[in-house]
Amino acid sequence: MAFVAQVLGDTEGWQHMTGWAWGWMVLGWLLFLTLIGAVVWTVSRASGSPARRPDATEILAERFARGELSVEEFEERRCALRGETRGG
């Protein structure tokens, strides 16, 4: 409590840190910490996981969904990708 009284009472050599000086110091630290936080946030967002490449089955399903392949073509190619033989 004596420290607070000294600082606020402007006694015994604390003249350089009275009044608005404390407020400016606190504001400076808050701005500095905000800047550090913004840099960390930006770097963490920029270094996110890269986009995953779709595998062959997903590409085949997309082509079928777009109507580029008939049902027979889709089934034949899907079996070929799986290493199966179509019986029938």
List, as one string, the DSSP characters of 8-30: HHT-TT-GGGSTHHHHHHHHHHH
| Residue 44 predicted with pLDDT over 60 | yes
- The whole-number pLDDT of residue 10 equals 54
Residue-averaged pLDDT of the chain: 82
Domain ranges for the chain, please list them: 2-43, 53-88
In this prediction, residue 79 carries a pLDDT of: 92
In terms of DSSP H, where are the helices of 1-88? 2-9, 20-46, 56-65, 71-82
Q: What pLDDT is stored for residue 7 in this prediction?
A: 57
* pTM summary value: 0.41
Say yes or no to pLDDT of 6 above 70: no
pLDDT of residue 17: 66
For the segment 21-49, the average pLDDT, to the nearest whole number, is 89
Query: Taking a C-beta distance cutoff of 8 angstroms, is the pair 41, 47 a contact?
Result: no
Q: Has residue 24 got a pLDDT over 90?
A: no
Instruction: Please say whether the beta carbons of 81 and 69 come within 8 A.
Output: no
